[in-house]
Amino acid sequence: MAIKMNQPIGPAVYGPMITRCVIGAYFLLAGMSKLQMLAAFVAQVKTFSVLPDNFSSLYGVLLPYAEIFVGGALILGLWTTMVGMMASFLLVSFICAFGVFPGSTDIFNKDLVLLAATIGLLYTGPGAYAVDGMRKPLPQA
């Protein structure tokens, strides 16, 4: 079987699945790592001085749980559109906190790339092997 350089290498339903699993794993691992050192993370959020003190504490406490939920739901392909929007909002908040060019070692904020991928999921749907796909059959490619 020859691969044509201007044709997809497989069915289009696998692209969104790969995207949501990678982004889901990123959010899941990020949330779990923050949860292990929650007090230090909340203190770090307060140092950004983006939000008032009480809101930054609430954001810092709730963020790891939101990331774990978003990550797990993306991996499962559960409520993909809603969770994709949640992920997009979280990523926008990260971009607002860190900026587009966060430091001298980074070309630009990696969250911009993740935001583009989550917005892409809003347009494509969950792809193959998703709980959402079990409830409603996927269109054939």
* Domain extent listing, the chain: 15-128
pLDDT at 93 over 70: yes
Higher pLDDT, 104 or 99: 99
Answer yes or no: pTM beyond 0.85: yes
Higher pLDDT, 19 or 138: 19
User: What DSSP element (H or E) covers 92?
Assistant: helix 80-98
The whole-number pLDDT of residue 38 equals 95
Q: How far is CA 33 from CA 25, 43, 96, 100, 139, in A?
A: 12, 15, 21, 23, 37
User: What is the C-alpha to C-alpha distance for residues 126 and 13, in angstroms, rounded to an integer?
Assistant: 8
Q: How far is CA 49 from CA 45, 59, 60, 106, 110, in A?
A: 8, 12, 12, 22, 21
The whole-number pLDDT of residue 133 equals 82
The whole-number pLDDT of residue 119 equals 97
- Return the DSSP state at 141: -
Span 25-77, pLDDT tens digits = 999 999 999 999 999 999 999 998 888 888 999 999 999 999 999 999 999 99
Span 106-131, pLDDT tens digits = 778 889 999 999 999 999 999 999 99
The whole-number pLDDT of residue 1 equals 61
Higher pLDDT, 5 or 1: 5
Average pLDDT over residues 81-100: 92
